[in-house]
Chain A
């Protein structure tokens, strides 16, 4: 039941129009950070204010919404944002990736391949990939303008010099269509290959930093690397203990103080549907 004291999807129509214009510009220039007039949202910065505004601007009454937080549908951030849109927009919600038309996500891309017509909305804390190397905004804008991206490799060089390998495991910088270097939001680098050539539209919203950027469907995205230290999409070298999946990204869960631990799919919907289909892992219902 929609709360009638709010406009559909919380934001007023002029604000949504402004955000849609920014999204259109972002789609037209893949990877380019479009400034927009980010609004105060009824949640703190860092809880996905950028993603929520992008989702609000994209939602229609016919949409089905799914919200992911670190791969899970049932953690605080996911639950509160899902409830927020249930209350202010009255849209249908789901936990199944395949049924959703809009998926707002924090830190993961679903394991199930996305399809045409779906929109994936990322929550972005810091949209500027060069920020920690170059603190001046004027200078980073100039560097994007002139395609001066050597500095991004300095970061990777430092990783190898210090750790012997590229130790950046999330927030791994990518280059979009050979032009803009983009921060993919803090998704694990395991998910980076899924950014490229996806049939779904991918939108990125940073509320505090007031930036929106986008990857239109079938955009070519390359993770940066060195010739002699190529990009590797890493994950924990285990199978899921519940569903037995060997190809999904895993969370490590400490189960007791005796060193007991288990690895489970971070994507809860993926894991649940595999268990429902009869798959089982080391600690799963069928494996005991």
Chain B
């Protein structure tokens, strides 16, 4: 289908997402403060930090789920760079259905549990105007295959799926419209390690194959080591260290990063 094949000329000069001075307060407390970074096309950015460090708040602000108090989130849209914080809600939500994808930690938040797997994958297609049942179904079968779900499960509801399958279904549902930027909130949380490994392998393949940019929030350093090109370490709402993933993990400079790296349990 034609909306699947929109190819975006990779412009290395303009960042896909440019964040400046992003601040979100919850009353007197800060959620995240003075965050700034550039994300270039095809790049995967990891955000790590302990619980309460503001990483989920930051992701919600970036994805438009929360309105930040200050700062700009400039996304390189088809019609040039635009500040997503000040753009009309209708446009922001349209972008959330087409150019963006959001993978929730709990697949129940990202899936419609009462709707079949095929319907879940097809929803975004129908939301942007697909009105041909046969084509929608074909695309759904194709995507279920890509995330390693057997085609004969297409009419089963997600309730009948295992946790790992639900998470893979959620990924298929999000990537079906060919987004350019994927937000992931703890995509492997709550899965056992062997399922995690398969999911990570799948994600890495999809991200490379589709040339996606992604922002991955996690507290699992192994996940970012595997997926992320660059890493931001957050603590107390601030970014305390950022750099290339290997550099940050192998040679942590900030005391908190050192603590984080040394806290990983070795088998």
Contacts and interface: CB of A to CB of B under 8 A. Distances in A.
Interface string B76-101: 00000000000001100100010000
Contacts, number: 53
Interface stretch (B16-24, B111-119, B182-190): B111-119
Interface stretch (B57-65, B122-130, B199-207): B122-130
B122 A227 contact: no
Nearest to B127: A150
A154 to B, nearest CB: 5
Contacts of B154: 161
Nearest to B90: A146
A153 B126 CA distance: 7
A250 to B, nearest CB: 29
Contacts of A153: 126, 131
Dominant secondary structure of chain B at its interface with chain A: helix
A288 interface: no
Interface residues on B, range: 20 to 34
A190 interface: no
Given A150-B128, A157-B133, A161-B119, A133 B112 contact: yes
Contacts of B70: none
Contacts of A275: none
B226 to A, nearest CB: 34
A39 interface: no
A272 B139 CA distance: 52
Interface of A: 133, 146, 148, 150-151, 153-154, 157-158, 160-162, 226-229
Interface of B: 89-90, 93, 97, 112, 114-116, 118-119, 122-124, 126-128, 131-134, 136-137, 154-155
Given A148-B93, A150-B124, 14 more contacts: A146-B93, A150-B128, A151-B126, A151-B127, A154-B115, A154-B126, A157-B119, A160-B133, A161-B119, A162-B116, A162-B155, A226-B132, A228-B132, A229-B133
